Amino acid sequence: MIGKLSGIIDSFADNHAILNVNGVGYIVFGSRRTLGRIGQPGDPATLLIDTHVREDHIHLYGFADAAEQKWFRLLTSVQGVGAKVALSILSACPAERLGVIIASQDKAAITSADGVGPKLGVRILTELKDKAEQNEIAAPSKAIKYQDIVGKEANTSVDQDAVSVLINLGYARSDAYSAVMQARGKANDNDKENLQTIIRLALKELSA
């Protein structure tokens, strides 16, 4: 089982790179994010690897960092999500945003990935909301823990209204949700139920 490869980038294709490791060219499939980050042909590169063994093939899936690899494993734990769809999701929804997309149940974001229809999108959001608690997510202005957000989702009318206002202003649901949660955390106790204050603070987060 291969867990990591270090070598020289030989070439790229749409969904994979060939990594030359001591004269052996390994085909490594990856998300657009990973393939765009590791360098250019001739550059040294190191990838974390998940090895999938099937009766008719052995495929290597590469990741630039542990966070993306963790999300890949979580995504493929959902029925109907194979490795190809998981990489498609990670291409459309970078690992640093997936946590907040799931916490906010942002169906539009998850179904923007090729191969993810409405029913599968709902299944992914529903199943992973419970499974993703140990993953870190990146909010617009700082890194926060998934468990710092999950469970707080629009649990007051102020939260719901603030998210709705931001969505109507053109922000994605996941971005609006994240900004409102951060605004609530920064607001004084007396202002946590003040809609105008929460919206003002959330807009400040979004513009940071």
Report the topology of domain 4-63.
OB fold (Dihydrolipoamide Acetyltransferase, E2P) (2.40.50)
The CATH number of the structural domain formed by 67-138 is 1.10.150.20
Residues of the chain with CATH 2.40.50.140: 4-63
Q: What is the pLDDT of residues 42-57, one digit of tens each?
A: 999 999 999 999 888 8
Q: How confident is the model at residue 72 (pLDDT cuts 50, 70, 90)?
A: very high
Most distant CA pair in the chain, distance: 65
Residues of the chain with CATH 1.10.8: 157-207
Residues 176-200: what's their mean pLDDT?
Answer: 83
Q: How many CB atoms lie within 10 A of CB 56?
A: 4
CA angle 180, 184, 189 (to 5 degrees): 160
Residue 117 reports pLDDT greater than 90: yes
Q: Which residues, 6 or more positions from 75, have their beta carbon under 8 angstroms from its beta carbon?
A: 81, 85, 86, 89, 90, 124, 128
Residue 140 reports pLDDT greater than 70: no
* CATH class of the domain whose range is 157-207: mainly alpha
Q: What is the helix (H) or strand (E) element at residue 24, kind and residue range? A: strand 24-29
Q: How far is CA 14 from CA 35, 36, 82, 89, 195, in A?
A: 9, 11, 18, 15, 46
Q: How confident is the model at residue 70 (pLDDT cuts 50, 70, 90)?
A: very high
pLDDT of residue 202: 86
134 phi, psi to nearest 5 deg: -90, 0
